Amino acid sequence: MADAKLQIIPLGGLGEFGMNCLAIRYKDDIIVIDAGLMFPESELLGVDIVVPDITYLVENREHVRGIVLTHGHEDHIGGLPWILSELNVPVYGTEFTLAYVEGKLEEHKLLDDTELIEIAPGSKFSLGPFTIEPIRVTHSLVDCVALAIDTPVGVIVHTGDFKIDLSPPDSKAFDLHKFAEYGQRGVLALLQDSTNVDRPGYTPSEWSVKPRLDELFSRTKKKLFFSCFSSSIYRIRIAIDLAHTHGRKVAIVGRSMVESSEIAQDLGYLEVPPGIIIHPGQIADYDPEEVMILISGTQGEPMSALSRAAVDNHKHARILPGDTVVLSSRVIPGNEKSIFRVIDHLYRRDAHVIFDDGASGLIHVSGHASQEEQRLMINLLRPKFFIPVHGDYRHLKKHAEMAQNMGVVDLALVIENGDVLELDQDDARKTGKITAGRVCIDSGSTADVVEDLVIRDRRHLSEDGFVLPILTINKLSGKVERLPEIVSRGFVGADQELMEAARNVVSQTLENSSDEEKADYGVIKEKIRIDLKRYIQKNTSRRPLIMPVILEI
């Protein structure tokens, strides 16, 4: 099989933000890079999380050698419990990433059954025919890696999420030299993060937020509430350092913030000055100007600590007039409503609110590479083939055009979830499609999968409501004992006259049905549903969900 080709098969993250998951196959060996989730759009009513459809991996379970993680953000590790409940394969990740994964698997009672294997930048390991070298990259989270994968057809590099920060707060800089080495050796294909392809120039370093935050700390007279993503360890570190400099104690509030800061301290990513951390219950023991509250909930999540504090519903974190609240994070598209609702509540409490509105100075920087950094990576690696990953279709398309126009790569290809891209030393082309898509899950359980039909029904109910015709049938004689009752909820136009007419429609349907049809509840329910639907649609132009109920007496 000298002519065997390498297959790259995205299962999520290409054509959307989040749910990053990509399979790489050579003959009978498959490795999976990342296993993310995404949070649902508003039209996915009642759905808690969305994960990739892994039908392809389940069908080829005996070939899957392992899942390799680039870093610990939810859009790269959040789908693991779902995937591992279907496939029992080892999971590879850096020390910090696996610390996050452990907590997630423990929550889903999968930790004891899963083999977690720690990897480190510069230490190669093999999975089947693949030799993988993690390479240190910088991002908004710590301990992140890109993956250089040596395959039988050539080297492919997957950047993961990255920006080029040569002086990050933990002094573990982006490893430009290692990428340059691979560029010298020759790279067959580069899969590069497209998130910020719309942004010209360079993404600023994490340190660049410090001057503006320092200014805010120095002029805040009362309590200071500081909120950022709980995984933004660099930002937490800068905030704690500034609190120490300005003589404030730090109370950490919110489960995710407490967990993240504990993991970061245990692994040495967060050095906390002795005596600075206080229990949230001690906040009231200090003068307002002596306290900073590090609080989770930047995206306005309904039950987060910040959302509860904003409506005076938190046991320890009370926001009073004159307090300052700093939201050091970006607004994730889709979360605008909930974030601005929280900001409104904060203003009602006469708090000073500082958020990333473009006018407040630099209080947040992105964790993703802008155009010049993307170009720099392409020039360093000089790949033969270029494949953009992570982003909506327009981002992938723009990124591919940018790479092609540089004149460095032979061919830039846009692929989407489910496409099968086949590569060898000379050629790269799409050769087919596999089953891919999204699986909606309620309440975070790996069991509660929400079918498309359920979401359609929920949408239907939310738009037109429902109507319940209730019939009482004598079990022995098969006769209808009384006039049908009609109950409706959320159905506009359900006036007395219409309901009366609807009862007559149901009675008429029953009269026109034979005894045999009446005895078959499935048939009679469907006849009533069709006749009532036709009548209501004709008279109101609405289509409520109609669910006939038969009571036996």
Question: Where is 233: in which H helix or E strand?
Answer: helix 233-245
246 known member of a binding site: no
Catalytic entry in 150, 193, 419, 464: 193
399 known member of a binding site: no
Q: Return the closest-CA partner of residue 292 out of 307, 282, 303.
A: 282
Annotated active-site residue 193? The verdict is yes
520 known member of a binding site: no
Annotated active-site residue 53? The verdict is no
279 known member of a binding site: no
Question: Where is 521: in which H helix or E strand?
Answer: helix 521-540
73 known member of a binding site: yes
177 known member of a binding site: no
48 known member of a binding site: yes
Q: Return the closest-CA partner of residue 469 out of 529, 543, 538, 537.
A: 529
Do β-strands 144-151 and 189-193 pair in parallel, antiparallel, or remain unpaired?
A: unpaired
Between CA 467 and CA 492 the distance in angstroms is: 11
165 known member of a binding site: no
426 known member of a binding site: no
Helix (H/G/I), strand (E/B), else coil: 275: coil
Catalytic entry in 158, 345, 352, 368: 368
198-235 residues labelled b (16+ CB within 10 A) or e (exposed): ebeeebebbeebbebbeebbeebebbbbbbbbbbbbbb
Residues in CB range of 81: below 8 A, 6 or more apart:
104, 105, 107, 108, 110, 446
Between CA 553 and CA 550 the distance in angstroms is: 10
Q: What is the DSSP letter of 113?
A: G
Helix (H/G/I), strand (E/B), else coil: 407: coil
Tokens for 514, please give them: 């034979």
522 known member of a binding site: no
End-to-end CA distance of the chain: 72
139 known member of a binding site: yes
Contact 548, 471 (CB under 8 A): yes
Residues in CB range of 25: below 8 A, 6 or more apart:
6, 7, 9, 63
- What is the CA 32 to chain-centroid distance, rounded? 18
275 known member of a binding site: no
448 known member of a binding site: no
Return the amino acid letter for 279. Answer: H
Indicate the annotated binding residues for Zn(2+): 71, 73, 75-76, 139, 161, 390
Indicate the annotated binding residues for substrate: 364-368
Indicate the annotated binding residues for Ca(2+): 46, 48, 442
Q: Which residues are catalytic?
A: 193, 368
